[in-house]
Every structure is written in structure tokens, then in C-alpha cells.
Amino acid sequence: MNRILNIGFKYAGNWELQGSQIECNFKSHSSDKNVLYAFVSNGEVKYIGKTTQKLSSRFSGYRNPSKTQSTNIKNNANIKRLLINEEPIDVFVLPDNGLLNYGGFSINLAAGLEDSLIEHFSPPWNESGVNRKQKMEPKITSQTNTVISIEVPSDKASAFELKLGKAYYNQGFFNVPIALSTIFASHSEEIEIYTGEDEEPIIGYINRTANSNNTPRIMGGKDLKNWITSNFKLGDSFQVNINTTNSVTLMPVRENQ
């Protein structure tokens, strides 16, 4: 997530399931043309694409794919599958400001960056051979993530402790207890996730649509997942210290001696 946020991708909306159909709930950028877009679920980039059409027009192809549109058919099925399993799918967009040019010719930012971003992120829904990697990854069949303890909000920093079930351990996100929900910023805002290992934080974002009660889900993506799997075992716990509405620090839980 850090890379796409740092180069200027902005939250544009999210996919929703309406009956048996998928619909994109746009918050912004629906009329933008010549854009790169990314589908992100639980902080992981699932798909990167580009379009010269209005974004809303391009997405109509995913919503109602024709029999000859193989990419649209596949992504329609991918989106629907995650939504049925109650996994969020957010849309991020990199608008083209039209300022790039070379020798008097305008450079299409979306066309110029798409291949490089796909190579870097290896999104599982892009046709780049990464589906083989996806098939090799373990399937997560249950989520046993537990809030162990909470420090109630006060004039001091608040904190809560989480036990790492399969979802938290493998997917690079964690949920905030409802008692601390109002401390955090609004949906789609960026959040800095400090781990104590580096001065530079992991840049994630706050998702308030993933949970039915609108409590924040902190999306840290692969960088958060890598930190967790490098420092903990499944079933371990870590503490989340809330620094500000847009900043947290994650710390191992020290056992009593």
C-alpha cells in the first residue's frame, strides 16, 4: 500500500454487492479519464488497470461483462467472490494532471506506469503469471482474531492488544475495537503505522466499510503482513498504541517475568 499511496493514488470508492450484481460506490473521480486504477482488498493490491474512458464507463464493463470480454468476466467473478465472502474491495485512482511531456508531446501517465506497477506489485488478478503464486499460498479458512484487552480513552494515549488469528497474521490488516472507534479518522484517510524498527512508518489507510458496524479496519497491506510474519507466530499477540487519529505504534507484548 505504501507505494501506491506515496506516488499519488487517491481513494475513489468501493465495490458493493447489490443482490446478485456488483456496483461501484464512487466517492470521487468517477468522471476522470486517462487514469490508472487499483482494486485493493485488506491492504493488498489485487488488480491494476488503466482506462482512457471515464472511470464509471470503464467499470460498467466489470459490472455487466459481455461474452467476449474475458478480462471483465474474470474480474466480475473475482470481485463478486470476495464480496460474497464479506471481504472489502476499495478502488484507488491515480489521476493524470496532464503536466508530463517530452519533446512537446504529452505523456500518458497511466500508459507509462501500468507495466512497471504490475511488475512491482504482481497483482493476482492481472495476467502476469502470478496466479501460479496465488495457488501456492495457503487458503485462509477461518478468522480467530481476538481483542484481548482495551485501555479506555482518556487524556493519555489509548491502546489495545490483539491476538493474531489467521486473517490478521496473513492479510496485513487489523480491526479496531468499537470502544475506541471514535478516536480514529474518517473512512479512506491515510494512517501511519509505526513498528519501532524504522523511523519510516508503514503507510496504510482506514476502512470503515469493511465491518458491518463501521468500526475502523486498519489496512497495512504487504508491508504490515511482512512485519507481522517476521516478528510473530500465529497465535501471538501485539499491542496497538494509538498516537493520534492517523497514527499508531505496534509493539510486541512482553510476558510477565
What is the residue extent of each domain of the chain? 2-136, 146-252
Does pTM top 0.75 for this prediction?
no
Task: For residue 116, give Cα distances in angstroms to 35, 110, 122, 242.
Answer: 15, 10, 10, 35
- Residue 52 has a pLDDT of 87
141: left (phi over 0), alpha (psi -120 to 50) or beta: alpha
- Residue 194 has a pLDDT of 93
Between CA 37 and CA 56 the distance in angstroms is 12
Query: Could you give the 3-state DSSP secondary structure of residue 6?
Result: helix
Locus of grid cell 481513494:
11
Q: What is the mean pLDDT of each run of 10 residues along the chain (257 residues)?
A: 83 93 94 92 92 94 92 95 91 76 62 83 78 42 57 62 91 92 92 82 91 91 90 93 94 66
* Residue pair 34/109 in contact by the 8 Å Cβ criterion: yes
Locus of grid cell 519510516:
200
- Residue 154 has a pLDDT of 47
* Residue pair 78/87 in contact by the 8 Å Cβ criterion: no
Between CA 91 and CA 62 the distance in angstroms is 13
- Residue 135 has a pLDDT of 41
Q: Say whether domain 146-252 belongs to CATH 2.40.330.10.
A: yes
Return the C-alpha cell found at 139. 487458503
- Residue 257 has a pLDDT of 39
Between CA 110 and CA 32 the distance in angstroms is 12
Return the C-alpha cell found at 225. 503482513
- Residue 2 has a pLDDT of 72
Between CA 24 and CA 214 the distance in angstroms is 18
Between CA 22 and CA 79 the distance in angstroms is 8
- Residue 42 has a pLDDT of 87
- Residue 132 has a pLDDT of 38
DSSP-assigned letter for residue 56: H
Which amino acid, residue 94? Answer: L
Task: For residue 175, give Cα distances in angstroms to 39, 162, 184, 210.
Answer: 20, 9, 12, 9
* Residue pair 179/159 in contact by the 8 Å Cβ criterion: no
- Residue 78 has a pLDDT of 96
Q: Say whether domain 2-136 belongs to CATH 3.40.1440.40.
A: yes
Contacts of 53 by beta carbon, 8 Å cutoff, 6+ apart: 33
* Residue pair 225/250 in contact by the 8 Å Cβ criterion: no
Bridge partners of 56, per DSSP, are none
Bridge partners of 173, per DSSP, are 219
